[in-house]
A and B are shown apart, each in its own frame.
Chain A
């Protein structure tokens, strides 16, 4: 059996991580769920002003990284 290329393993790792986050978000939407949604934990991080600045800066950096570069 030929060895699995490391590129496929790397891609699989990203797919698993992203899929897990999607599953978490779906599970978090159920009534009474203990898992916070993305919006809830980002909102929690944004309670202090510095958290708000950092999260918005991170959002902007993502846009710069993927759309301006």
Chain B
């Protein structure tokens, strides 16, 4: 198992990618503000769509298609990924993820009855308020952008 050397400057940036994205000029800041406002407005409108409706599906398809097109056609400057992952460190994540998905799978196997709800059954009531759903959609879109940059 390779031990990590002292973290290089590049590694520190990779751990905190928002350092890379800070706007440097007023015009960049204005553009970023405009984009942020547009995203927030889009999330607000998307959150108003009824579940299982065509509008809700379109609201999810549009960011997906847009980010997919950006990733393929005009990818942004990507944050360099690590050359290798520490096996011990990664094993902690695997344990947590396995536990989470096993818990979810057992709830799904039990048909998500009230006495054994799935994660979705627990999250759905929390996402019911419009503002909360708007923020969640905004976070989802920003997470997609963060993935495109990776």
Name the one of A14, A29, A43 contacting B150, with C-beta atoms under 8 angstroms: A43
Alpha-carbon distance between A7 and B117 when the two chains are bound, in angstroms: 7
Interface size class of chain A, counting residues whose CB lies under 8 Å from the partner chain: 35 or more
Whether the Cβ atoms of A68 and B140 lie closer than 8 Å is no
Name the one of A20, A34, A47, A68 contacting B51, with C-beta atoms under 8 angstroms: A68
Contact A36 to B86, CB < 8 A, known contacts A24-B96, A66-B127: yes
Residues of B within 8 A of A (CB): 4, 6-7, 12, 14-17, 46-47, 49, 51-52, 56-57, 59-60, 63-64, 67-68, 71, 79-82, 84-86, 88-90, 92-93, 96-97, 99-100, 103, 107, 114-117, 119-120, 122-124, 127, 133, 136-137, 140, 143-144, 146-148, 150
Alpha-carbon distance between A37 and B86 when the two chains are bound, in angstroms: 11
Name the one of A14, A17, A46, A63 contacting B122, with C-beta atoms under 8 angstroms: A14
Of the listed residues B56, B84, B147, the one surrounded by the most CB atoms of chain A closer than 10 A to its CB is B147
Residues of A within 8 A of B (CB): 5-7, 10-11, 13-14, 16-18, 20-21, 24, 28-29, 31-37, 39-44, 46-47, 52, 55-56, 59-60, 62-69
The 8 nearest A-B residue pairs measured at CB: A43-B81, A35-B89, A17-B100, A43-B150, A34-B89, A60-B64, A34-B86, A68-B56
Give the residues in chain B near A37, CB-CB below 8 Å: 15
Whether the Cβ atoms of A32 and B4 lie closer than 8 Å is yes
Give the residues in chain A near B93, CB-CB below 8 Å: 21, 24, 35-36, 41
Name the one of B51, B86, B144 contacting A69, with C-beta atoms under 8 angstroms: B51
A interface, over-half SS: helix
Contact A67 to B99, CB < 8 A, known contacts A14-B119, A29-B15, A35-B92: no
Whether the Cβ atoms of A35 and B86 lie closer than 8 Å is yes
Whether the Cβ atoms of B89 and A36 lie closer than 8 Å is yes
Give the residues in chain A near B68, CB-CB below 8 Å: 56, 60
